[in-house]
Amino acid sequence: MAPPIAVQLYTVRDLLPADFAGTVKRIAQIGYAGVETGGLQGITTQEAARLFADLGLEVPSIHSALPLGEQERPTAELAQALGTRRVVSSTPRDAFGTAEKVRALCDTWNQAQAVAARHGLELHLHNHWWEFTPVGDRNGLDLLLEYLDPKIGIQIDTYWTQTGGYDPAAAVKKAGARAPLLHIKDGPCDKPESPMVAAGQGKVDFPGVMKAAGNHAEWLIVELDSCATDMMGAVEQSFQYLAGQGLGRGRA
C-alpha cells in the first residue's frame, strides 16, 4: 500500500497566524492524512492536538531543535502532546567543511539520540543541499550514515538532495530503512533561492524515488519553502499528483 501523505505546516506559515484552524481544516479537506509541525503559531499545543484529532490528521513527526540542554524538556513535551515519537532536526551548513567537522557534528547528534531515547522518541536528520558537498573523496551523506548512531533516521529531502547535485532516488536507496519519512518538494533544482512548484511540476523524479524507497517509506511529507504560484494551490496540486499517481494516499 502507498504511504500516507502529510504536509509540513511550515509550507503554509504565512497563513497560520491569521487563521490556524481554518488553514488546517483546508488541508484536511484536500485529503491529507497528516501534518508535520515546526513551531505552532497563534494556537496552544493542546488546542492544536485537539484540532488535529478532530480532523483525523496524524502527526508523523515534529521539526525541532535537538533535545539537548534547555531544549530537552520542551522538545519531548511537544512531541508527546502531539502524539508523535519522531523528532526531526537539521544541520548547520558549516559543519560539512571537513570530515572532522562532520564527525564532531555526529557526536553531538549521537548524544541527542541518547536523550531522545530516554523519552521514548526517535531522532531524524533532515538534509538540505550542503550535506552533498564533497568532503575529501566522499560526501556528507556517506559520512553521516557512517558516523551517526544507526538508530538515527535520515529524512531525505528529495528536492534539496537534487539541488545538491545528488540523485534523490540513490540517496533514498542508500539510506534504506533509515528513511521512513520523505520530504516532497519540487522545482528547478538549480539553486537554493529558486522558487518551488507543486510536486510533479518540476524536475524531481518522484516515481523513481518511490521505486527506490520500496517498502521503507512510511510517510510522504509535502514541504514547499517558497512557491512560484499560490501556495495553497500548490499544496492541493501536490496532493492530487501524489495520490493520483498512486505514489501516496490520503485519509481513509
Q: What are the grid coordinates assigned to 58, written together?
A: 496524524
Residue 132 has a pLDDT of 94
Helix locations, 18-93, DSSP H: 20-30, 45-54, 72-81
Give the mean model confidence (pLDDT) for residues 149-166: 98
Q: Classify domain 5-244 by CATH number.
A: 3.20.20.150
The pLDDT score that the predictor gives to residue 224 is 97
- At position 145, the amino acid (one-letter code) is L
Q: In whole angstroms, what is the distance from residue 159 CA to residue 237 CA?
A: 17
Locate the domains of the chain by residue range.
5-244
The confidence score (pLDDT) of residue 216 equals 98
Q: What is the pLDDT of residue 38?
A: 84
* pLDDT of residue 39 exceeding 80: no
Identify the pLDDT of residue 174: 97
pLDDT at position 63, please?
97
Percent of the chain whose predicted confidence (pLDDT) is above 90: 96
- Would the pTM count as exceeding 0.85? yes
d(CA 93, CA 95): 5
